[in-house]
């Protein structure tokens, strides 16, 4: 009962956050000059489609918990969501997971066409790095003393480094490669774990660490938040595997049952449904313990972890 109640209020807070965040995202995309109309339409279509905005939420809250302001985290939060939107567009392509529906609407290549979808993904990925440097530039040639209106250059470099490593061939993109290769291999728990780590946990970890970096946090604070983000990502991905088994198109905004049909490496395929649920709960508990050094200011990250396990969509 208490968990269900806190999940409801957490869900409301996420919705409230996403309303503000979507304005940031819209503003960042609107600030793109000289982009061919169809390409920008395609980028906006996927980036602004209704999403849970969990990665930017973790990033912004990590920044605030580490003593930074919401404004400090703004560019990085928009950048990480652009990377997430890029990954959804490319993962859905016919040559990859070949999905028709995403976030309750036709996938990008269905709404536009394959060439446009490939370029919209490329565009969002590149834009993420440009956005990280917006605002920073004003101060880059000057002094390094924090400067209003943007992060200093040293923090910006750390953000570019975090985001590129978590996204790149040893991170999310590599995880997608293993995910596809895994379709022709027998299910194995270590294989699933490596896929989940790379495909999902590294970007969640980057969200938390980038938030801490936006606040210029000390390494112990940054490391604790990064461990939290990593655990949350793993929990999220097991819950995602389970939802693919049990939820409907209406719940998810995407087709379910696809993992099994494709022979994907998932936790339920390796260890069964109920043991996967137990593993998700166990992981959620250890993830919450990563926040032990923080007080009530980290309560919503704790509740978010419970929501991720209990989520039905």
CA distance 191 to 182: 8
The residues, ordered by sequence, that sit 6+ positions from 143 with a Cβ below 8 Å of its Cβ are: none
Minimum separation from the CB atom of position 60 to a second copy (A): 22
Q: List the interface residues with a second copy, window 100-119 (CB under 8 A).
A: 113-116, 118-119
When the beta carbons of 69 and 98 are compared against a second copy, the nearer one is 98
The DSSP bridge partners found for residue 105 are: 102
Q: What is the DSSP letter of 93?
A: S
Residue 304 Cα distances to 195, 199, 233, 300, angstroms: 23, 20, 11, 6
Minimum separation from the CB atom of position 33 to a second copy (A): 6
When the beta carbons of 65 and 136 are compared against a second copy, the nearer one is 136
CA distance 213 to 202: 16
Residue with tokens 């946990």: 201
**Is 147 one of the binding residues for a second copy (CB under 8 A)?**
no
118 with 166: CB under 8 angstroms?
Answer: no
When the beta carbons of 120 and 225 are compared against a second copy, the nearer one is 120
Q: List the interface residues with a second copy, window 154-183 (CB under 8 A).
A: 154, 156-158, 160-161, 163-165, 167-170, 173-174, 176-178, 180-181
**Binding-residue pattern over the window 192 to 221 for a second copy, x denoting contact by CB under 8 A:** ------x-----------------------
When the beta carbons of 15 and 95 are compared against a second copy, the nearer one is 95
| Chosen residue from 27, 95, 189, 293 binding a second copy by CB under 8 A | 95
**Is 125 one of the binding residues for a second copy (CB under 8 A)?**
yes
When the beta carbons of 91 and 240 are compared against a second copy, the nearer one is 91
232 with 300: CB under 8 angstroms?
Answer: no
CA distance 54 to 235: 13
When the beta carbons of 140 and 221 are compared against a second copy, the nearer one is 140
Q: List the interface residues with a second copy, window 27-66 (CB under 8 A).
A: 32-36, 38-40, 43
Scanning 16-24, 51-59, 128-136, 301-309 for contacts with a second copy by CB under 8 A, the matching segment is: 128-136
Chain-centre distance for alpha carbon 190: 23
171 with 204: CB under 8 angstroms?
Answer: no
Q: How many CB atoms lie within 10 A of CB 26?
A: 14
**Is 153 one of the binding residues for a second copy (CB under 8 A)?**
yes
Q: How many CB atoms lie within 10 A of CB 296?
A: 7
**Is 262 one of the binding residues for a second copy (CB under 8 A)?**
no
Q: List the interface residues with a second copy, window 71-90 (CB under 8 A).
A: 86, 90
Minimum separation from the CB atom of position 41 to a second copy (A): 11
The DSSP bridge partners found for residue 101 are: 106
Task: Return the SS3 of 155.
Answer: helix
The DSSP bridge partners found for residue 106 are: 101
115 with 134: CB under 8 angstroms?
Answer: no
Total number of residues binding a second copy (CB under 8 A)?
A: 58
Where on the chain is the footprint of a second copy (CB under 8 A)? Answer: 32-36, 38-40, 43, 86, 90, 93, 95-96, 113-116, 118-119, 121-123, 125-127, 129-130, 132-133, 136-137, 140-141, 144, 152-154, 156-158, 160-161, 163-165, 167-170, 173-174, 176-178, 180-181, 198
């Amino acid at each position: 009962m208490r968990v269900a109640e806190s999940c409801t209020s957490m869900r409301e807070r996420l919705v409230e956050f996403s309303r503000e965040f979507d304005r940031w995202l819209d503003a960042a995309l609107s600030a793109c000059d000289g982009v061919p109309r169809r390409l920008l339409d395609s980028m906006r279509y996927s980036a602004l489609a209704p999403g849970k905005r969990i990665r930017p939420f973790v990033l912004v809250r990590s920044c605030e918990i580490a003593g930074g302001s919401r404004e400090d985290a703004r560019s990085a939060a928009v950048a990480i969501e652009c990377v997430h939107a890029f990954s959804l567009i490319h993962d859905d392509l016919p040559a990859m997971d070949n999905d028709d529906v995403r976030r309750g609407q036709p996938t990008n290549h269905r709404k536009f066409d394959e060439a446009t979808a490939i370029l919209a993904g490329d565009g969002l990925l590149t834009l993420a790095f440009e956005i990280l440097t917006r605002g920073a530039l004003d101060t880059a040639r000057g002094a390094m003393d924090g400067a209003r209106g943007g992060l200093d250059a040293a923090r910006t470099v750390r953000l570019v480094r975090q985001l590129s490593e978590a996204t790149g061939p040893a991170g999310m993109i590599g995880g997608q490669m293993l995910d596809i290769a895994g379709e022709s291999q027998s299910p194995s728990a270590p294989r699933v774990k490596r896929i989940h780590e790379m495909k999902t946990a590294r970007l969640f970890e980057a969200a938390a660490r980038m938030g801490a970096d936006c606040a210029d946090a000390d390494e112990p604070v940054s490391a604790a938040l990064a461990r939290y983000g990593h655990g949350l990502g793993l929990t999220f991905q097991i819950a995602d595997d389970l939802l693919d088994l049990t939820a409907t198109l209406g719940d998810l905004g995407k087709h379910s049952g696809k993992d099994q049909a494709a022979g994907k490496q998932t936790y339920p395929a390796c260890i069964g449904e109920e043991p996967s649920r137990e593993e998700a709960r166990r992981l959620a508990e250890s993830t919450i313990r990563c926040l032990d050094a923080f007080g009530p200011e980290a309560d919503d990250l704790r509740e978010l972890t419970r929501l991720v396990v209990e989520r039905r969509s």
